[in-house]
Amino acid sequence: MVNKKVTVTNRVGLHARPATFFIQKANEFKSSIWVEHDDRRVNAKSLLGILSLGIVKDTEIDIIANGADEKEAVEALVALLQKGFDGYPNT
């Protein structure tokens, strides 16, 4: 299991469009992946789960993965969040 803290830096947090891009990236991996915030853990491949966390700009979250490609999954999702979704439209 791999776990890493990251701060969401894009202007709208993980709402609607950026959450969709985040989920698409998570679905590229076979590992089970979760996002944890305020003692709540949701499936990183679930739009409703991600949206239910209400993650806004400058919120610190944990990304947790378990499986064959867990390290790569966490690294890719952390990189996406650290770049503030650069290159993604309307985020």
In a domain? residue 46 = yes
In a domain? residue 87 = no
* Interaxial angle between packed helices 70-82 and 16-26, expressed in degrees from 0 to 180 and rounded to the nearest 10: 160
Residue 74's pLDDT is: 98
What's the chain's average pLDDT? Answer: 93
Domain ranges, residue 25: 2-82
Mean pLDDT, range 36-52, rounded to an integer: 97
Residue 88's pLDDT is: 62
pLDDT in tens, 50-72: 999 999 999 999 999 999 999 99
40-43 β-sheet, strand order: 2-7, 60-66, 32-37, 40-43
In a domain? residue 39 = yes
Residue 6 in tokens: 């990251």
Active site residue 15: yes
In a domain? residue 91 = no
**What is the domain-level CATH number for residue 30?**
3.30.1340.10
In a domain? residue 63 = yes
| Catalytic position from the list 4, 9, 12, 15 | 15
Q: How confident is the model at residue 89 (pLDDT cuts 50, 70, 90)?
A: low
Task: Output DSSP code: residue 52.
Answer: H
**Residue 64 contacts by C-beta under 8 Å, 6 or more apart in sequence?**
1, 2, 3, 33, 34, 35, 36, 41, 74
In a domain? residue 49 = yes
How many domains does one find in the chain? 1
